[in-house]
């Protein structure tokens, strides 16, 4: 076997994950290869240093509540979809009513109709602009993790 | 690591059965958390992103082929979320006005499963946590799973959908990097 094949197998040897045949082959190779013996020694030291260490896991309560958090997010997403659908329907009806009740009526002076169009367009522009800014700021806010 | 009859549970999920999905979530929540922690390095983000990934998985569960293992498919969703999160965090740092006040990488919290703690051991834990934080996400992921949570090679191969040979070669590279980082931090 080429030298490079043994390097990853060193890991299996170190962690006792090799088959008996692989272990024998690895031990034969180690007898002849000072480089692999040196590396194995260094990996053993690393294992000793980190022996019995674990990454700190969330507490038991976080695991108990894990599913309910996932469930709430699932439910909220459905809520958002329904709310957005409703908002689109209501907004469409609003635009339709605006056009039908005011803009197409010749008895209302043109200035008033133009004023209503400008008012609605301005309000919508401002609303979208503020919303966009808020969303952008929320994404870029580097203090978002700081608890007040 | 085996979930009895995962395929039929997934079929129930496809019909919208949330109880069935709860059993999938409860079975895989810990590996999901460790994988996310490997990518993003912050426990609270890892918890959050792993939960989001389950939400996305449920939304797209109909596209999933239930004859296959769930976790490798879920892993690709989770990985994408983590990569987006990393990109967003980088952008936020670029937009930061106060660069001097920018916080450095926070070490991954590491603890020893041993009641007899002393100052030296705590110092070592802090350095190991720092070294872990400095690794590339891919290296960190496999080190956390194998080195710090004792998953077997077979379990890692099943989780990540890679052959055992790849587990060993990735572990080899990751451990080399970990050794280098620890040496840089004065741990020999």
Q: Would B61 be classed as within a structural domain?
A: yes
What's the whole-number average pLDDT of chain A?
A: 85
Note whether B169 and B134 are within 8 A (CB). Answer: no
CB spacing of A71 vs B132 below 8 angstroms = no
CB spacing of B172 vs A11 below 8 angstroms = yes
- On whether both B1 and B65 belong to a single domain, the answer is yes
- The pLDDT tens digits for A87-108 are 999 989 988 888 887 778 888 8
pLDDT of residue A79: 85
Confidence bin at A148 (pLDDT 50/70/90): very low
pLDDT at A3 over 90: no
CB spacing of A53 vs B169 below 8 angstroms = no
Note whether B6 and B70 are within 8 A (CB). Answer: yes
Q: Would B104 be classed as within a structural domain?
A: no
Q: Would B20 be classed as within a structural domain?
A: yes
CB spacing of A63 vs B29 below 8 angstroms = yes
CATH of the domain at B186: 1.10.10.10
- On whether both B16 and B82 belong to a single domain, the answer is yes
Note whether A57 and B148 are within 8 A (CB). Answer: no
Residue A54: phi, psi to the nearest 5? -135, 150
Into how many domains does chain B fold? 2
- On whether both B64 and B127 belong to a single domain, the answer is no
> Is the CB of B102 inside 8 Å of chain A's CB atoms?
yes
Question: What's the token pair of residue A6?
Answer: 């043994």
What per-residue string of b and e applies to B82-93 under the rule 16 or more CB within 10 Å gives b?
Answer: beebeeeeeebe
- The pLDDT tens digits for A37-91 are 999 999 999 988 887 788 888 888 899 999 999 999 988 888 888 999 999 999 8
| Nearest chain B alpha carbon to A53 | B112
Rounded to whole angstroms, the Cα distance separating B122 from B128 reads: 10
pTM over cut 0.80: no
Q: B76 vs chain A: nearest CA distance in angstroms?
A: 18
Q: From the list B25, B113, B172, which residue is nearest A7 (CB)?
A: B172
Q: From the list B25, B108, B164, which residue is nearest A70 (CB)?
A: B25
Q: What is the dihedral of CA B41, B47, B51, B52, to 10 degrees?
A: -40
- On whether both B92 and B167 belong to a single domain, the answer is no
> Is the CB of A54 inside 8 Å of chain B's CB atoms?
yes
Q: From the list A49, A73, A141, which residue is nearest B124 (CB)?
A: A49
pLDDT of residue A143: 56
Q: B60 vs chain A: nearest CA distance in angstroms?
A: 12
- On whether both B79 and B139 belong to a single domain, the answer is no
| Residues contacting A37, CB < 8 A, separation 6+ | A30
Q: Would B67 be classed as within a structural domain?
A: yes
Q: Would B110 be classed as within a structural domain?
A: no
- On whether both B128 and B158 belong to a single domain, the answer is yes
Q: Would B79 be classed as within a structural domain?
A: yes
Q: In chain B, which stretches have pLDDT less than 70?
A: 1-4, 93-106, 114-117
Q: Would B2 be classed as within a structural domain?
A: yes
- Of the residues B70, B99, B128, which one is the last residue of a structural domain? B99
pLDDT of residue B114: 67
- What average pLDDT does this structure show over A11-24? 93
List, in sequence order, every beta strand (DSSP E) within B4-126: 110-112
Note whether B31 and B74 are within 8 A (CB). Answer: no
- The closest alpha carbon to B177, from B125, B126, B141, B123, belongs to B141
- On whether both B53 and B19 belong to a single domain, the answer is yes
Q: Is the dihedral of CA B153, B44, B110, A46 positive or negative?
A: positive
Chain A hits for B144, Cβ within 8 Å: 55
- On whether both B6 and B67 belong to a single domain, the answer is yes
- The pLDDT tens digits for B87-120 are 888 777 666 655 444 455 667 878 777 656 677 7
> Is the CB of A133 inside 8 Å of chain B's CB atoms?
no
- Of the residues B36, B70, B99, which one is the last residue of a structural domain? B99
pLDDT at A21 over 90: yes
Task: Give residue B174's domain range.
Answer: 120-188
Q: A97 vs chain B: nearest CA distance in angstroms?
A: 36
Rounded to whole angstroms, the Cα distance separating B79 from B104 reads: 23
**Selected residues 3-32 of chain B with any CB under 8 Å from a CB in chain A:** 18, 22, 25-26, 29-30
CB spacing of B29 vs A71 below 8 angstroms = no
Rounded to whole angstroms, the Cα distance separating A89 from A133 reads: 25
Mutate one of A50, A55, A141 to test the B interface: name it (highest B CB count within 10 A).
A55
- On whether both B62 and B148 belong to a single domain, the answer is no
Residue A140: phi, psi to the nearest 5? -100, 0
> Is the CB of B108 inside 8 Å of chain A's CB atoms?
yes
List, in sequence order, every beta strand (DSSP E) within chain A: 53-55
Residues above pLDDT 70, as percent of chain A? 91
* Cα angle A24, A27, A29; round to 5: 110
- On whether both B41 and B132 belong to a single domain, the answer is no
Please, what is the angle between helix B119-134 and helix B164-184, to 10°? 120
Question: What's the token pair of residue A79?
Answer: 């809520």
Q: Is the dihedral of CA B40, B42, B45, B50 positive or negative?
A: positive
- On whether both B8 and B92 belong to a single domain, the answer is yes
Q: Would B129 be classed as within a structural domain?
A: yes
- On whether both B95 and B124 belong to a single domain, the answer is no
CATH of the domain at B70: 1.10.1740.10
- Of the residues B99, B134, B168, which one is the last residue of a structural domain? B99
Q: From the list A12, A47, A70, which residue is nearest B153 (CB)?
A: A12
């Amino acid at each position: 076997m080429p030298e490079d094949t043994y390097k990853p197998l060193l890991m299996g040897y170190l962690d006792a994950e090799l088959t008996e045949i692989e272990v024998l082959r690895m031990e034969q190779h180690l007898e002849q290869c000072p480089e692999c013996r040196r590396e194995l020694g260094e990996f053993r030291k690393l294992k000793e240093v980190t022996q019995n260490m674990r990454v700190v896991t969330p507490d038991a309560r976080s695991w108990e509540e894990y599913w309910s958090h996932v469930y709430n997010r699932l439910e909220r997403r459905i809520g958002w979809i329904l709310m957005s659908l409703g908002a689109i329907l209501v907004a469409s009806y609003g635009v339709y009513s605006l056009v039908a009740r005011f803009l197409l009526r010749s008895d209302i002076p043109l200035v008033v109709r133009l004023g209503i169009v400008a008012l609605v367009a301005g309000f919508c522009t401002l609303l979208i602009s503020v919303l966009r800014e808020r969303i952008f700021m929320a994404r870029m806010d580097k203090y978002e993790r700081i608890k007040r | 690591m085996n979930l009895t009859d995962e395929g039929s549970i997934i079929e129930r999920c496809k019909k919208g059965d949330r109880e069935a999905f709860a059993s999938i979530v409860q079975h895989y929540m810990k590996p999901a958390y460790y994988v996310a922690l490997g990518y993003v390095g912050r426990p609270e983000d890892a918890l959050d992103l792993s939960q989001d990934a389950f939400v996305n998985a449920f939304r797209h569960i109909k596209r999933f082929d239930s004859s296959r293992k769930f976790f490798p498919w879920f892993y690709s969703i989770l990985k994408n979320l983590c990569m987006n999160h990393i990109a967003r965090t980088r952008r936020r740092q670029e937009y930061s006005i106060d660069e001097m006040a920018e916080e450095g990488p926070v070490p991954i919290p590491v603890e020893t499963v041993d009641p007899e703690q002393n100052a030296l051991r705590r110092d070592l834990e802090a350095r190991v946590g720092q070294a872990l934080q400095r690794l590339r996400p891919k290296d960190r992921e496999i080190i956390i799973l194998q080195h710090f949570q004792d998953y077997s090679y077979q379990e890692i191969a099943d989780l990540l959908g890679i052959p055992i040979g790849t587990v060993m070669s990735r572990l080899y590279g990751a451990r080399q990097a970990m050794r280098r980082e620890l040496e840089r931090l004065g741990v020999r």
